[in-house]
Amino acid sequence: MLDHMTASPHGTPHETPQEQAQELASQAAAALADRTGREAHDIAVVLGSGWRPAADVLCGAEGAGGFIEFPMSDLPGFLPPTAEGHGGTVRSLELGGRRVLVLLGRTHAYEGHELWRTVHAVRTAAAAGVGTVVLTNAAGGLTEGMSVGEPVLISDHLNMTMRSPLVGAEFVNMVDAYAPRLRKIVKGQKGLRPGMREAVYAMTPGPQYETPAEIHMLRTCGAGLVGMSTVYETIAARAADVEVLGISLVTNLAAGVTGEPLNHEEVLAAGAAAAEDMGGLLAELVSSEAVTSL
């Protein structure tokens, strides 16, 4: 239940946990509008481990008229991220005539929080009027030929945690969870990055990395990427009728692929090295008229 959490909404005793979570998201959206002076936003970008330099490129893109930045924890229901490389700040800017919400950092389930915390940013974005969310992450590459620093579109996911941020009889259709039309804007013949690779993303609970046996199982199941985030946010976004584009940055080759040990510093270094290209891609994506045109 939400009401025992520090930043819980003041719901009535008859409200369900889902209704309480939604009320808290509405409160956060109202506070966001107050802080930014923007009544609504059009697109949200959630940046994962090591992606902060990409945010600097995005916010400094041609046509961006400066940005407002403040700690994420200033908004109701948000906690500062504890994972290294997660900034814990909110940026609001206009680019290409669109109001863009950039969320630097996310809350992970492996930090010990309830699942509503992990999707609070996406629910807040939806309450703020966002119709499209770009979810990014750092991921291990499972497919032969993948290289460190390569961006990969998420085509589908495997929820290996077998958990959901939804509570109650909310039966959300997860077919095409990662919008095909948005993926086409990126990788189509006339897209922003023609021929960009796609793969299925597998979410594991973490925080430990996967064993070689687990990686073998995931590859057998069809996964090409593995990480510890994104899936819960995608579920919450689809429940709110928000379109999702998922982009993984391959920051390491998963256990058993190279025989080398894994570490979080490697993840951050790979993210920093690919920042300029990723920030440029996000700026092009946000500026594309097709993204917000249905």
10 belongs to a structural domain: no
3 belongs to a structural domain: no
Burial of 189 (0-12, 13-18, 19+ CB in 10 A): exposed
Please check if 263 is assigned to a binding site. Answer: no
User: Which amino acid appears at position 156 of this protein?
Assistant: D
Q: Pick from 206, 53, 219, 40: which is nearest to 136 by CA?
A: 53
CATH of the domain at 224: 3.40.50.1580
Altogether, the residues listed in the chain come to a count of: 294
Give the least confident one: 78-87, 131-140, 278-287: 78-87
For 195-217, write each residue's pLDDT tens digit.
Answer: 899 999 999 999 998 999 999 99
Please check if 164 is assigned to a binding site. Answer: no
For 43-60, write each residue's pLDDT tens digit.
Answer: 999 997 667 888 889 998
Burial of 130 (0-12, 13-18, 19+ CB in 10 A): buried
12 belongs to a structural domain: no
Residues contacting residue 175 through CB under 8 Å, at least 6 positions apart = none
Average pLDDT, the chain: 87
5 belongs to a structural domain: no
Using alpha carbons only, what angle is made at residue 38 by residues 125 and 236, rounded to the nearest 5 degrees? 5
Please check if 252 is assigned to a binding site. Answer: yes
175 belongs to a structural domain: yes
Residue bearing the bigger pLDDT, 161 or 113: 161
Residue 169 has pLDDT above 90, yes or no: no
The total number of structural domains in the chain stands at 1
The pLDDT of residue 232: 98
Query: Residue range 270-294: average pLDDT?
Result: 79
4 belongs to a structural domain: no
Rounded CA separation 137/49 (Å)? 6
35 belongs to a structural domain: yes
6 belongs to a structural domain: no
Please check if 16 is assigned to a binding site. Answer: no
Please check if 52 is assigned to a binding site. Answer: no
> Which structural domain range is residue 177 located in?
17-292
